[in-house]
Amino acid sequence: MLLTITPQRVIHLTISLLQFVSVGLGCFALGLQNSWGNGAPPDSLPRYRAIVKEVRAFPRENFTQGLEISEGKLYVSSGLYGQSAVRVYDWGDMTLAREAALAPRFFAEGLTRIEDRLYVLTWREGRLLILDPLSLEIRAAMSYQGEGWGLTHHSRSLWLSDGSDRLIRIDLPKDAPQEISQATTAQNEPTISVIRVTLDGKPLRRLNELEWVDGEIWANVWQQDTIARIDPSSGRVVGLIDASNLLQPEDRLRDTDVLNGIARDPETGKIWVTGKRWPKIFQIVLEATD
């Protein structure tokens, strides 16, 4: 089933405290330089190697920006202008259950599900779309300034990345608007806070796709085969995961892109990772390399 998502009649919940800051020229000036500077990660930091325990086929058409397992389904947000879509697969056999194309002006980024709402972030369009997870129709939207990259949640708190060293926490009220016809009031506006992520006391930038894992936030680092384990109370990186061994050369095509996408299966606790236009999704465990 293919639906086309359009931004008609969405609620514009302007979040004045949520001032997204684009990565900016300073970040791009880093080029292909490591996100933690000219050197390697600090030796004192716990480091791990991703060990593959299981591999499943994954549709290569997905330019993966968001990944989440919920109620026996795998939710995927796939990016690029004119190609962005939300796809839902039966997690058992990876059969496509439903999909919805976004309007061409949207570049889909991270996604996460809280109860009966599926939140889908957009890159430069200033919209956090709120979808019905069953029909994939838009219910509402939140507005923000700047860029959106990764998205996860814990309880009723959304956590967003914007490609910088910041993680933005949005605490959702219980009486937030359920449908596009409902208004936002001062009483049901979300509460916003920001933390800075640091590695050995220095900013860790280019934080991308996010996943809440056992009290930590795991984050892909853009253009790195690295996953950072972040303490959400302090922003401090408490571990680094080397995932460079996952996709083999024979599985890479010309349009195969970077590692991006982390999902924890809530039923088993297993961690799954993939990338943009990767043909496989990998269940991993961590092996300490210290």
* Neighbour-count burial of 11, counting CB atoms closer than 10 A to its CB (0-12 exposed, 13-18 middle, 19+ buried): buried
Amino acid letter for position 219: A
More confident position, 13 or 205: 205
Percent of the chain having pLDDT more than 70?
80
Cα–Cα distances in angstroms (integers) from residue 133 to residues 24, 41, 98, 173, 286, in the given order: 34, 39, 10, 19, 31
Say if domain 2-22+47-288 classifies as CATH 2.120.10: yes
Amino acid letter for position 233: S
The arithmetic mean of pLDDT across residues 111-118, rounded, is: 96
pTM for the predicted model, two decimal places: 0.83
Least confident segment among 20-24, 44-48, 130-134:
20-24
Give the CB-side neighbour count of residue 50, counting CA atoms within 13 A. 27
DSSP 236: B
**Distance from C-alpha of 127 to C-alpha of 20, rounded to nearest angstrom:** 12
- Output the pLDDT for position 237: 97
Amino acid letter for position 112: T
